[in-house]
Structure 1
Amino acid sequence: MIPQKEAVLAVCEFLGRNGCRKIGNLSINTIKSLFLHVLENSYFVLQQPAEQPKYYKQIRGGVMGSACTQVLADIYVKKWENILVKEQHRQKELYFRFRDDVFLTRKQPLEKMNNIFEELNKSDPNLKIQWEGGKSVDYLDVTIRIEIPNFRTRIYCKLAAQPYVLPYHSVHPKHIMRNIPYGAALRAARICSHPNDLREELDRIKITLMLNKYSATFVDEQMQRFYKDLTRTESIDRLIGENHATYRNEILNEQWNKKEKRGIDFRNDITCHFSCTPTLARFGTTFHKIWKEIFQETPLDSTRIIYANRLTSNLKQFLVKKRPKKNILKLQLQ
């Protein structure tokens, strides 16, 4: 857990080191004061059944999920890892970090690596390293294995992971259902570096979707749409064939298949929101047709109309209340 004041000082040092005297109209001193104000005024209230509410103040770290805490943690760890990163670059080894998860390579025995990490643990009592190494490791959602001269990667799933996705009969717009198999196939093709692993993962995706009431025909149609966008054919054969590496390199580009979207002009465009219900599943097309028929050859004929869905409240929103009642947020005077 990061210390509050030391993390804020690390942010100030980071800004000064990069020549940033101001961010917008905010000076470094103002940014420091704002960070400290957020960290030192984090409270939460806990009320057990049939008991009076209890109030707690957070004195270490920051609120999980807060944008403020994420920035502080990233910069604090960046300061801590500076020496290690330089050593990795000097030895021409790999080093990647996402939040508090690190992946690195070293041509050293495990005993020596253990000594290195023990020394790193002593350098900062607020950070504790737990590591594992070998010919194969799990990093984020990827299993990485050494196969000289390259790495072999495939999707990693935790043992506790459940085969759950958004159910097909959930009250959501149908384009979301269509994009779930497509997006899952794209993710698998990007991560799996070997054709056999990709075939197995696509089969696993199909089973998971069928368990969530997606029909086999529907899943095949959406996956074929992905194959056609990538290989120009609706068959998987090209993707897992001899040109697999070429196709994989193509989709590793973040801009692959991205279509340019026109932004919303809030001065001229009209956006209409409707609650998403099964009875209105195809109303979008009908709505545009009605609009054209009514306003043809009128000043509104050239106005862009945007049909959008508003999601209905679900059971989680009904049962889980994140915001306490107003009466328990008021401190009782002693």
Structure 2
Amino acid sequence: MAVTLPAPPVPSASGAEGAARSGGSDFAPLARRVRASGLLERRRGYYAWAIGVNLVATAAVWAAVAWAGDGWWTVLLGVPLAVIAVRTAFLGHDAGHRQIARSARANRWLGLVLGNLLLGMGHGWWSDKHNRHHANPNHVGKDPDVGEGVLAWTQEQAGRQRGVLRWVARHQAVLFFPLLALEGVNLKVGSLLFLRGRPRRDRFVEGGLLLVHAVGYFALALTLLPVGQALALVAVQHAVFGVHLGAVFAPNHKGMAMPEPGARWDHLRRQVLTSRNVRGGVVTDWLMGGLNYQIEHHLFPGMPRCNLRRVRPLVRAHCAEVGVPYAEAGLVGSYRLALRYMREVGEPLR
């Protein structure tokens, strides 16, 4: 059964800026405090350092592949390649939210280089999908992250599954992490399918960069390793990449409130009630790319990732002041909550 909360009696708003302009919005005072704090300002030095380190690390691991030679142990270097690739994905995510550069054009090109060229994952496809998620998180019919698919996010969706997908829905809590091993490939397939309906220029630019990535990636792997080891390295990298990236996004919304059809929540409630933070220190921040501060990120998606920890006390205090529940859990606890919710969704099928 979908977890729902009744629509609170507050005015609706169409987003952060719209809510801030609404004099009666509970979000407006928080937006003013955060803007005055300077935490919304670009951190170009931080991102220059992060991108530079990421590129050096990527080159270093490929150099290690070349140095290690054609032994099967070399395949294990697919693990650090995947971990670094997830860091690239985080940077592409930040570019998509215009956190890095001042202009939309510069952020788009950063996203194309980081996503299409370095990862083989379409920046345009991801931005379209992710922006719809941010506009209506956890809202069935509006948020693509809880849409119909292999996994079911409500009991109604689970009841509509047939054949193998019905069996998957029945056991989806157990199958969740194994299925994530396929997510790296799924993201690339989705990127290609998205291009079919795009304007010719977008197909040329995005598709061309995806092609350059694919040719360069496989040429590099096949040049450094025999065919068997090269394909195994590719498989390990994509499997670990999918599990790692999926594990970052999984605990943020699963098991949180899902607005009922027609619910009118203001920006603050629409973002806070549907999101969960993951507690932790600098290691958790690094592993999750700052997305463990999911509440703050949803309230201020343009805020540089490195400032999310600093804005958290302001957001917590404001939520307490206006009586909006602020959800947090430890890393293990957040997975437990998400998987328990997935198990409850599939319960009627067992």
- Scaled by the length of structure 1, the TM-score of the pair is 0.22
Determine which structure has the larger strand proportion and give its number. 1
Question: Structure 2-normalised TM-score?
Answer: 0.21
